[in-house]
Each structure stands twice: as C-alpha cells, then as structure tokens.
A and B are shown apart, each in its own frame.
Chain A
Amino acid sequence: MTSLFSVSKKLFRYLLLAVFSVSTSAGANAASCPDDDAVALSWLDKMSRSLRQANYHGVVTLQRDGDMQVMQVSHIVGDGSSSERLVELTGRGAQVERLSHPLDCIHPGDRLLRGEVLLPEKSCGIATHYRFAVTPGERVAGREVVRIVIEPRDIYRFGYVVDLDEETGIMLKAQTIGHGHKTLETMQFANIVYSDNLPEFSQADVIHTAQHLDPQSASAQYPVTRAWSIGWLPLGFAATDPSTGTSERRTYTDGFAVFSVFLEELNVEVRAGEGLVKRGGTTSYTRGMRIDDQPVLVTVIGEVPVNTARMVADSLDWLP
C-alpha cells in the first residue's frame, strides 16, 4: 500500500512537471483578482480591530507535538492605549507584558488583515494568497463562534481554521494546518471573561517586557558588516519594520504568517549544510553557506513550511 502511494505520488509529481512544461506562461497570467469572500474579509477586519478594543482575561491553551501549554492572558484598553499580559501556567511560569501600546499604532500584520495593500505587486490583499470560507462553528470557551477556513493559494504558507467570537470578533481558537491537512498547532481559549476587572495573576519569576518595535524604526542587535538583501520572498509578504542594510534580522508577514531571517557572518570556513527544527507550526531552518567569498550562517524562523524557509535562505545576497 505504501509503495503504491509512493508510486502514485511520484507519478503526480512528474505529471506536474509535464503540465508545467506546457503551461508556465498560462499559470503566470492566470491569477488576477480572485473570488474573495467579502463576509470573511469583514470578519477578519473585525478580528484585527477587536484585539485592540476589548477588555478580557482568560486561560489559553497551546497544543503542539502532543504537548499542551497553558497560559493566563489579559487585555485592557484605556487612555488611548492597550495593555496585555501573558503568564505561563505550565513550564517555567514566565510572564510577558506589553503596557501602554498606543491604539493608533497599527503594525503591518494588522494593516494587511484590514484589507490594505502594502506591496507594489499587483494584489488584492490577503485574498490573493488565501481562499476563505465562513462556516458556523462549535462553541469555544462557552461562546458562540464564527468559523473561517483559510486555505493557502500556494505552497509557501500554511492554512488556518479560526473561530472568532460571534459577538466581539476575538479569536478564540486557531488551528494551523500543514500539508496533507495535518493540524500542526492549536491555540484556544479554555475560558474567557469580558471585563476590565482583572483577577489575580500567578506570580512569575521571569518577567519580560515585550518590545514595542515602532514599525518606522529598525533595531540591530548584532549588525553584520555588509548590507544584504533577500532576492526571493513568497508573494504577499511585507516587511514588519524597515530593517535593511546591515541589520542582522528581517521579518516579514502576510497578515497570518510571520517569519524572520537572521544572517551571521562567520570568520571561519563552514561546511555547507542545513538543519531543521520543527515545533508545531514553527519552522526553524539553519543553513551554512558562502555568499560570494564570505561564509555565513542563515537562519529562517517562522510559521511557514520548510520549503519556504529554504527558498528564502537560498536567495540571500550582498548588496553591491
């Protein structure tokens, strides 16, 4: 049975190539503005805005690789800003907080979800890269939900099934779907309370204040000495900040998926090779190679398939 499957899969691949050999130009011209689902897009817009408007707290689980993490979250809005907190209830019990995030500070991911077109390429926004379907969902955390099935239109990103609170638009559950319809990761609220009266949170030994990286400014912890660029990106991914030139990191988002590229210059020779770590929906791909005469280590981390990470890593080059 296995060999039969393998043979048919191989045949399919070769058929793909055969089709490709006569249809490349047709494929290149095929996509214009796809049949976007206005209802789904309006729900996504609502979801993006709700995250900055609602007061709530609750318990969230993250399931991946047969493991479950549990965390307590809160979100409070007031005085033109929002404050968020996450406390791990499993593992090390670390706390992450972001205080006084201005409500008018909209990052590229949210702008994409709200239908803005950030890229010069011919685009209909996120509907260019995902196909949406709205269906009734089952209750999550005791709340009625609307389910949006988000299917990628190409092979460079994962799919998602998200359940939004029917009343508030808050994302109560999100499943990341990989190839072969495998669920890679599930995030969901176990309970949620809409209130600005926060309960007492668990004490944390490690408290991290999330950086608020202004979309207009770039940071560089470990700058590289030469300016570099990425020659290939999946369509629809926009930079999250203007990290260019010698910054060691670039991050891109298409509204749902985010991936970061890190470049390290090595002062020693390195045997070319690659390594891969997968955790749920997160791919971490490290490649040792040379760009021109310079040995480098490239790491692509994000919620994208390994093939995407590999393609991106391959395309790095120095700027003249």
Chain B
Amino acid sequence: MDERMGESLSALMDDEANELELERVLAQVSQDPELRRAWIRYNVAQQAVQGSQIARLDWDISERVKSSLEVSSATAREPTGIGFKQRMLRPFVSLAVAASVAATVVIGGQQLALIGSDDPYNYGRSVATNASPVGMLNSLGATTVQASYGMQAVPILEPATSKAYQELALQRHRKYMQEHAEQAALNAPQGLIPFARVPQIQE
C-alpha cells in the first residue's frame, strides 16, 4: 500500500473521501489484499485508541471482494454478440458500459474539474447536476441505453465503474429514502422531520 492509498483510506475513515479517493481505493482493491486488511486494521485501531469497545471483526471480506471483482470484470470484457433486446434486459452491465462512454466523453472536463474539488460534501451533488451524454436512468431502476452507445465495444475504464455507481447510488437514494424516513420518523427524536430529507415525497 503506497502513501497515497494510505491517505485515501484515511480520508474514508474520516468520512472525508472524495470521489477520486474512492476511485483510488476501488481501483486498487482487486490487486491489493493488504489494502482491505489495512482498512479493517484502521477501524480496530481507531476504536482502540478512542477507548471504545471493539466491534466484532472476525470476518474478512478481502478475498470475497477480490474474487468477485475477478469474475465480474472477466464477464464485463466478454465480446458483445448479444442483441439489443437482451442488452436492455441486462441493466447493470449496460449501465457500466454506458457510463464508460460517458466517462470517455467527459473525462477532459468533468473529471479534471473534480480533481480540483476536495470538498467531500459537494461531489455527490455535482454528480447529480452534471449532464450525462447518455442520461438514461428511469425511476424504477431499469436502464435504457441508446443503441449507438449500447452496441459499441468500449474501453473498460475504472472511472466508468465509479461514474456508473454514482448514478446508481443517486437512483437508489431516491428509491429508498422514503422507506428509510418512515423508520427514522418512528425511531429518531425528531417526529416527522426525517421526511424532509426525502428528495420527492410520494403518496
């Protein structure tokens, strides 16, 4: 684990990781089991120093995540001989591919702009407001991809995964926030106010 990776991990622990740092961790995780172990050690160490109880840490997900990455990235690199209809039925792979295009198109401007931003509380919002050239998420979680993008073989870039997952996280935030607020309103000391955090309250 190099110094920059250590800093990214550190930022994650401090809840201060920006998108680039998350990307860095993601890009390294498949090649660096030490990274996962270090992350778990950081958690335990910080708790120990703060004098709090040690949470149960008898699991180690590094191998599972590593094998998961190997299998899924191999699948993602398969030649695309499937039809458009089938592609439509494979939302998440399509999403990653579509976002690869998006990342390729915008990498000159948007990605560079993010390099200058170290505010961890802003980057989620910038994802939400940046126009995607393949803006295609609907409210149900299915993804439609324009044929001209979907049929092309595109390079697999790490930023593509990151970008696709940012979109996905935003979509799931919208989908699940109200159900979470139902629970928070019954279990946090603020009455119905957790509903104010729901992006769009539905009947």
Contacts and interface: CB of A to CB of B under 8 A. Distances in A.
The B contact surface, by secondary structure, is helix
Contacts of A305: 15
A190 B53 CA distance: 39
A146 interface: no
A256 B189 contact: yes
Given A17-B41, A48-B189, A277-B173, A208 B180 contact: no
Contacts, number: 314
Contacts of A285: 169
A277 B165 contact: no
Contact of A260 (B55, B73, B91, B176): B176
Nearest to A287: B165
A295 B12 contact: no
Given A10-B6, A62-B193, A232-B59, A271 B72 contact: yes
Interface string B57-77: 101010011011101110110
Contacts of A207: 203
B186 A268 contact: no
Nearest to A94: B201
Interface in B63-113: 64-65, 67-69, 71-73, 75-76, 89-93, 96
Contact of A278 (B121, B178, B187, B195): B121
Interface in A43-85: 47-48, 51, 60, 62, 65, 69, 71, 73, 75, 84-85
A262 interface: yes
B124 to A, nearest CB: 4
Contact of A269 (B93, B170, B180, B191): B93
Interface stretch (A136-144, A179-187, A192-200): A179-187
A227 interface: no
A154 B50 contact: yes
A319 interface: no
Contacts of A38: none
Given A155-B50, A286-B165, A315-B61, A268 B90 contact: yes
A258 B42 contact: no
B202 A306 contact: no
Contacts of A14: 6
A207 B46 CA distance: 45
Nearest to A293: B71
Contact of B165 (A62, A184, A273): A273
Given A19-B45, A179-B15, A268-B92, A260 B180 contact: yes
B189 A113 contact: yes
Given A16-B46, A28-B53, 6 more contacts: A62-B197, A211-B182, A258-B184, A270-B72, A270-B96, A299-B172
Interface of A: 6, 9-10, 13-14, 16-17, 19-20, 23-24, 26-28, 30-31, 47-48, 51, 60, 62, 65, 69, 71, 73, 75, 84-86, 88, 92, 94, 96-98, 107-110, 113, 128-129, 153-156, 162, 171, 174, 178-180, 182, 184, 187, 206-208, 210-213, 221, 231-235, 240-241, 249, 251, 253, 255-260, 262, 266, 268-280, 282, 284-286, 288-291, 295, 297, 299, 301-303, 305-307, 310-311, 314-315
Q: Which 5 A-B pairs have the closest CB atoms?
A: A109-B187, A275-B169, A27-B48, A275-B165, A20-B45
